Amino acid sequence: MEAAMGLMRRVPPKHSETALSALLSLLPQHSSDLLSQVDQPLQVLCDVDSGKEFILCEYNRDADSYRSPWSNKYHPPLDDGPYPSAELRKLEIEANDIFAIYCDHLNDQTMDRYYEGGISSVYIWEDENEGFVACFLIKKDGAKTAHGKRGCLQEGSWDAIHVIEVGPVEDETARYCLTSSVMLSLTTNNDSSGTFNLSGSIRRQMNMELSVAEGHLCNMGKMIEEMESKLRNSLDQVYFGKTKEMVCTLRPPSEIIEMRLPDS
């Protein structure tokens, strides 16, 4: 399993789906570990009742069916699939509504256009220790043929997975453990510079003890928003920055060479 995760750290992120299915076929005895530890690009399905798209993941899957957060129905239909309790389903509906607005809020120029920027889904279920787990998913296709407003990307995707474990409420506070992953891929292509592809995935954790006075959704939302901007900044500044640094180490820009020439 350790070696499998080692391989996933080195395989080009744009081929992570192929790599995962290869590992699943080599290590079927570890399939549940692999599926929970390896993040892969998110897939979507269309909810037949509402016509809205929803995101598929391990947390809304039962057998080969996926539960839509909009209609609460399994696609394709399933007789005995698990459902959240009435109380959690209420929170789930609210979370989906608010989260859809949050995604537009980040992606859109105007606040009054829903569901244009990206797709989001939230799934909530009970866990063993009297708390619950919530999974927030966001998928954005930024290619110029999809939702990319500026049209500068040949291909581009941002997939975010946030899983929050919420402990039982004690003394008006609860413990929140957030694990977030972002998978990103972007390609630009033009005659003068050829194809330029940057892709990657990173994962981070954050734990907080918070008062539940303003509600779970408010606390989870704030944590996710903070985490997303941290992840975006590290991708932008650290990860992309490091690959750029590497390019400049391999072949330093000419200004530097010209400056060095007089010395040599």
Partner 1 sequence: MSDEEETASQLTDKQKMEIAKWFLLNSPAGEIQYVARDIRAVLKNERVYRAAVAEAFPLYNKAHMICLEFPDRSGEVIVSSFSEIDKNEYLDPRTAQVARVDHVKQVCEDARPANDEELPSSYIEEYRCALDAEIIKYVSEAYPKGVCSVYCANGKDVEEPGSDFELVVLISAARHSPQNFCNGSWRSIWHMEFKDELQIVEVRGKLQVGAHYFEEGNVQLDAKHECKDSTIFQSPDDCAVSLTTIIRHHETEYLNSLQVSYSNLPDTTFKDLRRKLPVTRTLFPWHNTLQFSLTRDIQKNLGLESSK
Q: Which of residues 60-89 bind partner 1 (CB under 8 A)?
A: none
Question: Left (φ > 0), alpha (ψ -120 to 50) or beta: where does 125 sit?
Answer: beta
Q: Which residues pair with 44 in a beta bridge?
A: 55
**How many chain residues bind partner 1 (CB under 8 A)?**
99
Going residue by residue from 25 to 64, which x/- string records binding to partner 1, judged by CB under 8 A?
A: xxxxx-x-------------------xx------------
Which of 2, 64, 79, 171 lies at the binding interface for partner 1 (CB under 8 A)?
A: 2
Q: Is 201 in the site for partner 1 (CB under 8 A)?
A: yes
Which of 76, 85, 243, 259 lies at the binding interface for partner 1 (CB under 8 A)?
A: 243
Longest Cα–Cα distance of the chain, Å, equals 79
C-beta closer to partner 1: residue 87 or 116? 116
Q: Which residues pair with 182 in a beta bridge?
A: 160, 202
DSSP string, 80-105: S-----HHHHHHHHHHHHHHHHHHHH
* Cβ-based neighbour number of residue 112 at 10 Å: 6
Q: State the nearest-atom distance from the C-beta of 129 to partner 1, in Å.
A: 25
Which of 33, 62, 116, 170 lies at the binding interface for partner 1 (CB under 8 A)?
A: 116
Rule CB under 8 A: which of 140-199 touch partner 1? 140, 142, 147-153, 156-158, 184, 186, 188, 192-199
Rule CB under 8 A: which of 245-264 touch partner 1? 245-247, 249-254, 257, 261
Residue whose pair of structure tokens reads 């105007």 in the numeric block = 110
Would strands 53-56 and 155-166 be described as parallel, antiparallel, or unpaired? unpaired
173: tokens are: 């506070």
Q: Is 17 in the site for partner 1 (CB under 8 A)?
A: no
Choices 62-70, 129-137, 164-172, 217-225 (CB under 8 A): range interacting with partner 1: 217-225
Q: State the nearest-atom distance from the C-beta of 18 to partner 1, in Å.
A: 8
C-beta closer to partner 1: residue 31 or 43? 31
* Cβ-based neighbour number of residue 98 at 10 Å: 17
Q: For Cα atoms 225, 226, 231, give the angle at the middle one, nearest 5 degrees.
A: 95
Choices 2-10, 65-73, 76-84, 162-170 (CB under 8 A): range interacting with partner 1: 2-10
30: tokens are: 């570890």
DSSP state of 169: P
